[in-house]
Amino acid sequence: MNYRHLGNSGLEVSEIGLGANSFGMSGRRDRPESEAIIHSAIDNGINFIDTSNVYASGLSEEYIGHALKGRRDEMLIGTKFGSMRRQGPNNFGGSRNFVMRSVEESLQRLQTDYIDVYMIHRPDTRMPIEETLRALDDLVRDGKIRYTAGCNFEAWRIVNAQWKNRDNGLIPLAASQFAYSMMTRSAESEMIPACRELGISIIPYLPLAAGMLSGKVNATGTAPDGTRLAIESNMGERWITPNNLNLVRMLNEWANGRGHTVLELAFAWLLAEPIVATVIAGASSPAQIESNAKAADWRLTQEEHVEVTAILDANPAENGGDYYSAAGYFNQPTLERPRPKP
């Protein structure tokens, strides 16, 4: 496994990271399965795990905490706040009040006294970003978090946040996390150039386009049981189209012709971008962890990268969508707390 610096920081993260959004979800990964996957990740050189306080209503963080007992120093934890919506005022978003509460809750679930990378899951559009950034800076100085990052930001918002940090002498964002893959490339027009200019690393999520690039979807578009394409109907409807299946076929043939799989190509193409720090990928088993880790060994030549990109340009994926996921509920009224019955 190779390692890259996260932004301009000294933190080194594995080129392949572990996504933990399925840990604790009904019908996905239970606690023993999650722990086996985490231990396999460590054993295969993966040192970064990505989670959130909203994943499985906090169970993902709890499972990680249990799995890392005695092995905390072997894994960097990246978790998020700001996307969990609760009833009552001051119960979601990026306010100082909620940031401070959220970090304490995550620390307790993770059974640790610090978080390596604390991420804004979505920018709170109801308020100036300075309040959130100042709270994060205080948490770094208090030793409760080490580094900060933004997730699901539009390009202009990540630029604005980083300039606010610089103008106010606050800890800079080390990374920006967003959807990026051979089938979701909308970030290339603005977000990726902005990150290059600002010295911010990219942490791509959905690198396999919800499983389309996993090599498991057959020619008829049937997704294997247990995958997001099979479980989440909107994912299947979005991705499984004749055009996308044809693109996957072409990419698979190109990779097979060079002794590799389309899954390995998906990782290698992303890692050809120097500012990609770690590619977040989920796993359903320790065997899949080994497969993901092995994929990082393939290095595309410049000519190969140009050739693959030409295929993508000539056959753009359908429904790739935006690189960010805005939280529409920031524009909705605050939910009232449930009232006790008289």
pLDDT in tens, 201-242: 999 999 999 888 988 887 777 776 666 777 776 777 788 889
- Phi, psi (rounded to 5 degrees) for 157: -70, -35
Looking at residue 337, what is its pLDDT?
58
Question: Residue 84: pLDDT band by 50, 70, 90 thresholds?
Answer: low
CATH no., domain 3-214+261-298+322-331: 3.20.20.100
Query: Residues 288-321: pLDDT tens digits?
Result: 999 999 998 999 999 999 999 999 999 999 887 7
Q: Given its phi and psi angles, is residue 271 left (phi above 0), alpha (psi -120 to 50 degrees) or beta? A: alpha
Annotation says 323 is catalytic: no
Question: CB within 8 A of 191, min separation 6: which ones?
Answer: 154, 155, 158, 176, 178, 323, 324
Looking at residue 31, what is its pLDDT?
85
Q: What is the largest CA-CA distance in the chain?
A: 72
What is the average per-residue pLDDT within 100-109?
96
Looking at residue 324, what is its pLDDT?
78
Looking at residue 216, what is its pLDDT?
82
- Is the pLDDT at 104 greater than 90? The verdict is yes
248: nearest Cα among 331, 311, 305: 311
Query: Residues 230-282: pLDDT tens digits?
Result: 777 677 778 888 999 999 999 999 999 999 999 999 999 999 999 999 999 99
Domain ranges across the chain = 3-214+261-298+322-331
- Is the pLDDT at 81 greater than 80? The verdict is yes
What is the average per-residue pLDDT within 188-213?
94
What is the average per-residue pLDDT within 69-84?
92
